[in-house]
Chains A and B, each alone.
Chain A
Amino acid sequence: MRSPLARAIGLGSAKKGAGHWCAERVSAVALVPLTVWFAAEIIAHSGSDHPTFIAWLSAPLAATLMILLLIALFYHTALGLQVVIEDYVHSGAKFVAVIALRLGCFALAAAGVMATLSVAFSG
């Protein structure tokens, strides 16, 4: 992806900068309603026991929103932390760190989604 300005003046990111920037914003916009929902539910469920928690998360709407939250959250996390790594790590470790970050975020999102589905289908 190239920004219109980069195309017009023949400058701008030579790699994937514009796409990365855009994806970070799109995931941020998705996270606005999802994190508000999550924060409200967490406040409402402060100190809930296990059966109450399972009953809440096994409702289709809650399970769906939780899965969407996990996907948007770990996508946004991967994009954001990649920039942090690229700003401070300049050695060959940068490549390793970014790969580890991406795989880690994939794994954590998958684990969270599987846990949510497991609760949703058992409850």
Chain B
Amino acid sequence: MSNPTAKRPRPLAPNVQIYRPQLTSVLSILNRITGVALSVGAIVLVIWLLAAARGPQAYAVVQGAIASWIGQVVLLGATFAFFLHFCGGIRHLVWDTVHGFELRSIYISGWAVVTASIVLTVVAWVVGSIMAG
């Protein structure tokens, strides 16, 4: 049995790259991208715990990888990704209570998420480097 709709390609909605990026759309896709990135971070957490359980040598290997410059760059990115997903997630939870959908509120909360994520990342790294000595 032939399927007539399969013969010719169906019309497509305008692709995402046609639209000018806006704070709302950028934060939406960043919430997804940081979520995927943090999933990789969750795997690193398990590797770190397994290494600590295995013994001092395995733990030292993982700590060494984290302390390397590439490890520090990845950790800095992961810190920002975490705070962006965290703050964006709280914004979503507020939306789930059917609050903050006015255009003005959307932009205020959006910039608040960006600002809070940057501030929290800086604070975390400043305090972390003080603690590490």
- A50 pairs with B56, CB closer than 8 A: yes
Determine the residue in chain A with the shortest Cβ distance to B79: A39
Flag if B90 contacts A111 (CB, 8 Å): no
A111/B59 contact (C-beta < 8 A), A39-B82, A54-B52 known = no
- Is residue A64 contacting chain B, with contact meaning CB distance below 8 A? no
Q: CA separation between A29 and B129, bound complex, in Å?
A: 29
Docked Cα-Cα span, A73 to B45, in Å, equals: 11
In Å, the complex CA distance between A54 and B48 comes to: 12
Asked whether B53 is an interface residue with its Cβ less than 8 Å from the other chain, the reply is yes
Give the contacts of A3-60 with B (CB-CB under 8 A).
Answer: 25, 28-29, 31-32, 35, 39, 42-47, 50-51, 53-54, 57
- Considering the chains assembled together, what is the distance between the CA atoms of A29 and B93 in angstroms? 8
Q: Tell whether A89 is near chain B: CB-to-CB under 8 Å.
A: no
Complex contact A108–B132 (CB within 8 A): no
Please tell me the size bucket of the interface on A.
Answer: 35 or more
**Chain B 38-50, CB within 8 Å of chain A: the 1/0 string?**
1100110110011
Given contacts A35-B86, A50-B52, A77-B39, contact A108 B59 (CB under 8 A): no
Q: What are 17 A-B residue pairs whose CB atoms fall within 8 Å in the complex?
A: A25-B96, A28-B89, A28-B93, A32-B89, A42-B128, A44-B131, A45-B131, A46-B128, A50-B52, A50-B56, A53-B59, A57-B49, A80-B39, A81-B35, A108-B43, A111-B46, A115-B53
- Give chain B's interface residues, CB within 8 Å of chain A: 32, 35-36, 38-39, 42-43, 45-46, 49-50, 52-53, 55-56, 59-60, 63, 67, 82, 86, 89-90, 92-93, 96, 124, 127-129, 131-133
Residues of chain A having any CB pair with chain B under 8 Å: 25, 28-29, 31-32, 35, 39, 42-47, 50-51, 53-54, 57, 66, 70, 73-74, 77, 80-81, 84, 108, 111-112, 114-116, 118-119, 122
